[in-house]
Each structure stands twice: as C-alpha cells, then as structure tokens.
Structure 1
Amino acid sequence: MAKAQNLEMANSRQLHGLNAAAPSWTPQSYTALPQSSIQSWLHDRVNTPGNWERMSSVMPTCITRKSEAGPSSEAAPTDRVTVSSGIAHNAVAPSNLALPKRPHPWVATTAYRDLTGMKVPTWPLAAMYLPFRDLARDLIVPQHGVILIENAPFDIVKNEIVALLGRTAKIVQCPPRSCFHSVHVAYDRNTGKAHNIFVELDRDEDAQEVVRSFADYQAANGYSRRLRNRQIRVTAVGQRELMRAIFPRVRCCEFVGTVPYIIQAKEHESAFQGFLVEEELRSLLRFADKPGKTIFCKDSPQRPYEAMISLLAKYPWQSNDTYKLKERDMLFYYVEKLAQQLLGQIPDHQDGRFQTKLNAQLLTELVVVACSCRGFNSNQQAHLVALTNGFLKMQMRLPRLAFYAPFDCLAIHPRAQEVLVEV
C-alpha cells in the first residue's frame, strides 16, 4: 500500500512539472484531473439559492467611461469612472455589516450519520453534504486600512517596518491568525527595484491614527521620523492604490477596494487580458536565481519571494469570473519554481550574510500564503506542502486526502468531515 501511494505521488510530481527543466510555463506544465460536471450543478442548486454571504452586500456591477467634455468641446476629454449600483457577483462585505451564518451540513460531526443513517440519500441531499466547495466563490474580502511609507531604504526588511510602527499599530496578519504581517513592498518585476512600502491595518481609523502619530512627531521635533538614515513620509491611502502597485500592468480594469471591474476598451487601446503577464513572473524567477543581477537586488535577495507573497495575498481570487484557469495554473507553476529555488538556496546561505533573509521562515511564509489562497485546489496545496516537507517552520493543516482530490476548481472544505471525503 505504501509503495502504491509513493508511486502515485511520484507520478503526480512528474505530471505537475516538478522535474521539468523548461524555462517557462506552458499549458502542459500542469496536468490536472478532468473537472466533473457536478460543479455547475452544485453552483446552481446549492450555492445560488442560498446566496447567504452576498444578499446584503450591495456593490457596483458596471463601470463605464464617460467624457467630461461635451461633443462640441475643444478640450481634451478627461476619463472618469462612473459606477452604477446593483448587487455584485463578488461583493465585499462592509466592515459594520453583520452577516447571517450559513449552515454547513458537511461540517457537523454527525454529517455521515445524518446523510446515510436512515436510507440511501437522494442526489440533492447528497449534494448538500458534498465536502468539495468552490472556496473562492464564497470568499468575502475585508476592506482594511492602508498606509504608504515613502523614501524607505531599498534593502529594508519587513521586521524593521513592524518595529517602526510599534506594538500599538494593528497590522493585519496575512493569512489571518498567523505570525506573518501584511507588509507589501512595491516591486518592479521588470527591473528588480523596490519602491514604496504599503502596510495594511485593521481599519481605516487605525491607518489615520498611525499617520497622526507621525505628524505629531514631526510637529514636536521639526523633522520627520527616520528609518535608518532616511527621513520617511507616511500617508493614508486606499486599497485601490495598493492593488495598482501590485498589479501595475493590468489594463482596462478599475479596482473598487479590492474588487476588480472590467472596463470596455477604448479605440486603439488594449483590452483586459488578465492580471499578470508571464514575463513578470519569469523575471521574478530570474532575479531570485541571481540576486546580484541588478544593483537593487544584491543586498535584498528575498525581494522576489516577498513580491510573490504579496501577489498571492492580494490576487482577486473572489472575482473568479475575471481570470482563467490557465492564469491560475501559470501562477502556481512559478510559485513551485520559486519554492524549489529557495529550497536550494537555504543550505547555501545558512552561515552567510543572507542567513536572515533567505531562510526557512521565508519559505514557510511563501507556502502558508499559497495554501491559504482560495483559488488553488486541494491537490495543488498538498503538492506544494509535499515539495517543501521538512523545511517548514510550522505544521500545515491540510485534509488527509488533499493530494488525491479529483477536482480542478473545487477544494476540500477545511472543516469538512474526513469520512465524507472518503466516501
């Protein structure tokens, strides 16, 4: 039995391109099991009628471009975004909204007995207890406050930012209930240069409080606070600015908070083609492989990995009608490649000057954030954990049968009863 499981895991590793030497991603790099027709039936019969999480979330559904200047005006038209109200397909819940709790029959400890105790269950009843769910579809993204730190040293590390803000700053944990903080360094994936720093806090009020504390310091001392030998400037911004910094090359897309809305392309303008370009991800892999390739990366070799972590954390997984499985699989392919690369670099830098920057802690953060992404299925998450097994600083809690999950879009619910997965 153990030999059969090892053989199946080895075959799966070969199918997923772990041992492939191809420099770039191709659709054949990741081979997933065929998707069952149960997904569409499940969405129509189980998820849609309840629609518990989105009933009270009213958000814009249509964004169009209008010209400020009239047709007879000689002035150049200025683009402005107009939003029409409606119920969004992937709405964001307001922070002060108390959402009703949706019953999850597959979570109950008596789920198997309730399903099979009396008689052979009907198909609709069995579908209600199905432990495979489209987790991205049900995701509700909270709207956190954001501050922008400008003129920071390009080789700054996250721990210095956390220490600068102090213990009273309510920095968001990413993912929730973890030891990692939501600190994002704007990173040019083409040149390898780090720019400004974004920090997410629990609420907009918390962000304003941090900005006031820095302003009070400047008023009392006559100069702004320093980070190392640089004077920094701290301002409060929104999620839109953060999303624009992480996805700089997206076209014909406007962010309302963290929710993307596709805009119709104007004449002679490229239409929306996704949030990522493979060239950006290939550049991340190249900079991670050779940290000294540019002057900006030689003192901060961890930056490409942090850029991928920020990309995974802020990717709009909840808007699963705006990206394709091809883009998701391409992203997962490069996450794997970066994890493999970091696995090879950790032993080389254990006693070197990069031991605090290229270490198992960074690898753990990459894997934890990737496994918390609702867009990756259970098989992909288990595959990534198996790849880095033995190097992680914390234990990953995944379903026992996650490696054998048969669906490409659906994932095993984290709290589903294992007996339901087995049957």
Structure 2
Amino acid sequence: MRCITFIAFVAFLLSVLLNSSEEAVVASIEKSCTAMHTFQKTFDALKSKVTDLQNQMDLLKSDLDTSIEQTCGPLGSVGIANTHLFQLTFCNFENNEDANCAFAMNNFIISSDGTDHTFGSKLGHDYYNYYNDRTSTMTSVIFQPADHYCIRFYFALYAATSTGQISVSLQVGENPGYPFHSIPSSNLPVGKWILAEASPDQEYLQHPFKIIIENTISTYVYVDDIMIYNAPCSTDGIRSPVCPFGGVIRRKGAQTSCYTFHPEPLKYTDAILACKEVWPDASLVQIETEEEQGFIANQINNTQAMTYAADFGIWIGGNDVNTEYSFVWIGSSAPVPFNYTKWHQGQPNNMNGDQDCVMLQYKTANGDYEWGDVGCEEKHSFICEMTYDTSQAPSHQYPNTVIG
C-alpha cells in the first residue's frame, strides 16, 4: 500500500514539473514571438526608408551620369569639345597658406583694403608697391617650354602720374632679357582695373623660364589675378569664355551669359573662387532682372540635384560686406549696386549682426526662390555666371585692356 502511495506521489511530482516546464516553454515562445514581431515591424520600416533612399540615390546617379555625359562625352570617354588644350596658372592671392602663389615679391606687399580685383570688396586681397619711389618686382617660379604662352594680369593706379611703366620680361638662365611688353603710366585711368596681356617671343619659350613683372610707376600700383596660359591669347576660353557642356546659356542682345550649377556646399568666398576655376572672370550669379530671376528658378527646378540643394539655400553674388545694408554684386572689377531684388518678407534682417551674404533661400508656391541674408561662413550650393559681349569676343571684352 505504501508502495502504491509513493508511486502516486512521484507521478504527481512529475506531473507538476512537466506542467511547470511546459508553461515556461510556452511563456518563452510567446516572448520570442513578440520580439520577432517587433523586429519585423522595425525591419519593414527600415526597408521602406532604404527603398526611399535608394530611389533618391538613383535620381542623383541619373543626374550625375547626365552631367558626365554632357561634360565629358559618352560615359567612360573624354569629350574633346570640353577639353581645353592648355594649362592655366591662376594667382588670385586669396589662398592664405599660399599667399604668393607662383610669384616671389620684391617691394610688393599684400593688401586687404577693399581694392582687390578677385572679389571687388573687403573680402579679397591684392598686392601693391609699398615704396612708390622704388622699383618693385614679381618673379614667378619656373615655367616649362611650350610653343606659346599668354600672360594676363590686372593692375590699378592709385593716382595719375606720367612717370614710370609696368613691364614684362622673361628670364632664361641667370639673367632676364629685355622687356617684351611695356605699359607707360601716362594716360592710364586712375582707380580702375586695367587688364594687361602679353605674348612672349617664341625664342624665349624653347627653354625653362621665369616671368618677371616690374613696376617703376611713381604712385601706388595694385596687381591682382595673374593668369598664365601655355597657349596663344586668342585661344577660345582665354579672352572669351567657353561655356562648358552642362552649363546653360542665356542671350540678351549682344550679351551672353553662361550659368553653371554646383550642388556641393562651400563658403561664400570659396564658392566665388570655385567659379573662377571655370573661367577667371566668372563669379557667383548676379540676378539683375525679373526675367533672369525666373530663368534661374526654372533651371533649378529642372535639375534634381539643385532642387534638393535649394532646400538648404543657394549662394548668389550679392553682399553688404563693405557697407551695412548697401547690397552690391561682387566678383568682377567693381561692385555693382542692386537695381533689382527679390527679398522674402522680413529679409534682409542681419540676424545677430552677422548676415552679410545673399542666397536663394525661400521657395514659393509657384516655384520661385526668394532671397535672404545669411552668414558668409555658412556652406551652401551655388550658381556661377560668365557674362561676355559676343560682339567683342573675337578680340577682348574688357574695355581697359593693354595688349602687347
């Protein structure tokens, strides 16, 4: 009898243990299933986000492929039509870590008093002769032989004088040759940037050489934006710009403008310098009429990458750096006062006293982009503009040019 009772007791214990184990297993399975369902929802949400991102990446890739094909020819090849057959050394003196660019200075000193040619404002730098009664020179690094060279630079006189000249010579070996291009100071305009252009004799160009720009004019002389090409000055893309494939052309009478659109975000001044890599006289776009404003807005809306960029603002060429609330277009020889504006309501407001640069900032219901002022150190996408007079393109556009 006791044996039967013991066996029953053991059976009871086993039943309890089995039931407890089964409940534990069931609870564990339910917990695992809940976790997996939760993860499934997270996975589906993540998959949806990844799909959206992939779609956006596909659109951007399509824009990139189109830009490459337009700019460089068929994918994987180099388009001859957009390949300049020359190299450019461009010294704008704006790079602080390489302020002298390719030139060593003697009696020239860097200036930042608002007279510079690169920006035409206090943002930029140039060089001037700090002794106006002594000879001052700029001597380049060594350039390699080529069939042709074109040397161009801007200079400006502080005051009228009939004494002295600016000359350009080449040095082969230890001693410079005679100047092959000289500009007498008499009858030169005062306070205006003058473009000098010089083509060395081919005899010099068969050997490595240095370029020497010498000034003996007896007033302060400013020099900026030295351009050295290993090609004739008449080459397309030197005196007159060549609008790159992917750029957009707009014509108004004899005046032609080429616009290039850049989604990569840069600071205001860096954006201007990036424009000048397209062509040294290019700069951020100057929007001067309602018609041009509409043209720019339409181009942004037709480009997926720039439409995305516009959500964060796009630099244009206006600022009031020199004089607060006196906005001008910069990036050419002299600032140009605004004669047309498209400010958003309440703009400009110079928030925190540190908003001097202008961008397309506020998208309207009809797809336009109204203007706002922001800090110049912010990084935004940008639009470059090259403007030139097609009637002057075969020779030169700039009115004050001394060609030698």
Which has the larger strand fraction? 2
Larger Rg: 2
TM-score by length of 2: 0.23
Question: What TM-score do you get using the length of structure 1 for normalisation?
Answer: 0.23
